Amino acid sequence: MHAWPASEVPALPGKGRDLRIHSTADEGPVTLVPGPVARIYVCGITPYDATHLGHAATYNAFDLVQRVWLDTKRQVHYVQNVTDIDDPLLERAVRDGEDWTLLAERETALFREDMTALRMLPPQHYIGAVESIPGIVPLVERLRDAGAAYELDGDTYFSVESDPHFGEVSHLDAETMRLLSAERGGDPERPGKKNPLDPLLWLAARDGEPHWDGGSLGPGRPGWHIECVAIALEHLGMGFDVQGGGSDLAFPHHEMGASHAHAVTGEHPFAKAYVHAGMVALDGEKMSKSRGNLVFVSALRRDGVDPAAIRLALLAHHYRADWEWTDEDLTGAVARLDRWRAAVSRPDGPSADDLLEEVREALANDLDAPAALAAVDRWAERQQSEGGTDEGAPGLVSRTVDALLGVAL
Ligand code: 5CA
Ligand code: ZN
């Protein structure tokens, strides 16, 4: 699939510092020191509805990761998937009497537009589940041949017990895993499984549902976790730097994905850090397509909201916090954007050398975007109250905010 156009990342003087970031698997911060090419996989959307602010907040977090790495003068190799075949997509298509492929294409196109408007850096590989099926089938066959997968009434399941590291991503107790598995696409109640948590790798063809050639697995369609593993292994390989997504993906998705990858390669770890963004809520509940309590990025854009203000509203919350979207998030962000734009539109101002270092430090410290915004606020206030004579300062502030926060002033 094609991704979306990249916005330019201005060069900054000097060099940023290495990113210290909270990893769910480590239950604390880790300092990442990637090679010359940093590798990141971020789970993409299931395209059955438009991009909401929860999605945007999560993608914003991983965009910051890349901006920090680029500022350390590394290249970034970024891979993202699109779950363009899965139960929720088929259910929505049936509900609306729509062709599931058209639904997926339309919502993916809208996602690209939203990401472009928000100046999110595009992945180098943007891969759909459907197009990755030829790579998924042999992986499942290998898992089965290695004894890590088994058949149940024609379906193929992964055996969580085949991975000695199972549980080390999310650190949950058995009861919580069972509950979350049932909530998030698993089928712990299905009789005949070796372990109730075992996830589907390959679902045999069902009447009236789309299916593909599965080689020795028979016709069917892929399970959810193996999709991301196949794409990540093909384009990044084992031991990549960051596996990213919202906190609702820690279990089962990232836990299962890591186990699939360990079992199929015999190597550990799948990713060096498992990074999870907090959940954005609306009206007291997690914003979710299934609940329908959504604020869409595209709807805000249609209402004439500047995407830079949307982005500033997201940046005002620490990425790991769970938070609730309110109208004040947007009015505050619009006011801040106005103040910053006024401050950089003057021909000179107070020196911004310290500001650049403050923003770098804030982001390197577990992506503390609110602290970065506070630093820019302080410069803008100084500009407003005292002004200054540094002719390079407004330009440096603009470039800092653009390169490190993705906001064009
Ligand atoms: N296609 C899978 C991942 S392979 C999927 O989870 N798709 S999704 O469309 O449901 O979510 C896309 C991303 O947005 C995921 O990282 C998910 O954790 C994140 N996300 C979903 N809802 C929210 C929310 N309310 N707040 C923050 N992030 C969210
Ligand atoms: Zn995924």
The pLDDT, as a whole number, for residue 292 is 78
241 close to ligand 1 (CB < 6 Angstrom) = no
55 close to ligand 1 (CB < 6 Angstrom) = yes
pLDDT at 285 exceeding the cut of 90: no
Predicted confidence band of residue 274 (pLDDT cuts 50, 70, 90)? very high
* Burial class (CB within 10 angstroms; exposed 0-12, middle 13-18, buried 19+) of 19: buried
- Whole-angstrom Cα distance, residue 295 to residue 48? 15
User: Where do the structural domains in the chain lie, given as residue ranges?
Assistant: 20-282, 305-405
DSSP letter, residue 173:
-
For residue 191 the two structure tokens come to: 């009789």
Show the DSSP H helices in 46-132 as ranges: 53-71, 87-95, 100-117
Give me the residues paired with residue 78 across strands: 40
Return the residue whose CA atom lies nearest to atom 5 of ligand 1. Answer: 45
Question: Considering every ligand atom, which ligand is closest to the CA of 228?
Answer: 2
127 close to ligand 1 (CB < 6 Angstrom) = no
Q: Yes or no: say if 9 and 68 are a contact pair by the CB < 8 Å rule.
A: no
pLDDT at 116 exceeding the cut of 90: yes
- Whole-angstrom Cα distance, residue 257 to residue 277? 18
Give me the residues paired with residue 276 across strands: 245
Predicted confidence band of residue 286 (pLDDT cuts 50, 70, 90)? confident
Count helices and strands (H / E) in the chain. 13, 14
| Residues in CB range of 152: below 8 A, 6 or more apart | 190, 192, 193
The pLDDT, as a whole number, for residue 309 is 98
Q: How far is the CA of 261 from the centre of ligand 2 (A)?
A: 13
What is the average pLDDT across 366-384?
98
The pLDDT, as a whole number, for residue 179 is 98
DSSP letter, residue 288:
-
Q: Yes or no: say if 359 and 404 are a contact pair by the CB < 8 Å rule.
A: yes
CATH number of 20-282: 3.40.50.620
For residue 243 the two structure tokens come to: 């596996």
pLDDT at 282 exceeding the cut of 90: no
pLDDT at 45 exceeding the cut of 90: yes
Instruction: Considering only residues 320 and 286, tell me which one the structure prediction assigns the higher pLDDT.
Output: 320
Choose among 293, 401, 307: nearest CA to 115.
307
DSSP letter, residue 120:
P
What is the average pLDDT across 218-244?
98
Question: Considering every ligand atom, which ligand is closest to the CA of 111?
Answer: 1
Dihedrals phi, psi of 282, to nearest 5 degrees: -140, 135
Per the listing, tokens 């959810």 go with 224
Q: What is the chain's mean pLDDT, rounded? A: 97
- Whole-angstrom Cα distance, residue 113 to residue 170? 33
44 close to ligand 1 (CB < 6 Angstrom) = yes
185-206 tens-digit pLDDT? 999 999 999 999 999 999 999 9
Q: How far is the CA of 305 from the centre of ligand 2 (A)?
A: 30
- Whole-angstrom Cα distance, residue 287 to residue 335? 25
What is the average pLDDT across 131-137?
98
Choose among 310, 335, 337, 305: nearest CA to 325.
310
- Whole-angstrom Cα distance, residue 355 to residue 50? 36
The pLDDT, as a whole number, for residue 339 is 98
76-112 tens-digit pLDDT? 999 999 999 999 999 999 999 999 999 999 999 999 9
For residue 155 the two structure tokens come to: 């379906």
- CATH class, 305-405 region: mainly alpha
For residue 254 the two structure tokens come to: 């990232």
Classify the C-alpha dihedral 183-205-233-79 as positive or negative: negative
Question: Considering every ligand atom, which ligand is closest to the CA of 248?
Answer: 1
Return the residue whose CA atom lies nearest to atom 20 of ligand 1. Answer: 55
Q: At what angle do helices 100-117 and 87-95 cross, to 10 degrees?
A: 110
Dihedrals phi, psi of 170, to nearest 5 degrees: -105, -15
279 close to ligand 1 (CB < 6 Angstrom) = yes
SS (H, E, C) 140-172: HHHHHHCCCEEEECCEEEECHHHCCCCCCCCCC
Please, how many CA atoms are within 13 Å of residue 166, restricted to the half-sphere of its CB? 20
- Whole-angstrom Cα distance, residue 358 to residue 356? 5
Q: What global pTM score does this model have?
A: 0.97
Q: Yes or no: say if 373 and 316 are a contact pair by the CB < 8 Å rule.
A: yes
Which runs of E-coded beta strand occur in 259-331? 271-277, 280-282, 285-286, 323-324
DSSP letter, residue 212:
B
42 close to ligand 1 (CB < 6 Angstrom) = no
- Whole-angstrom Cα distance, residue 364 to residue 366? 6
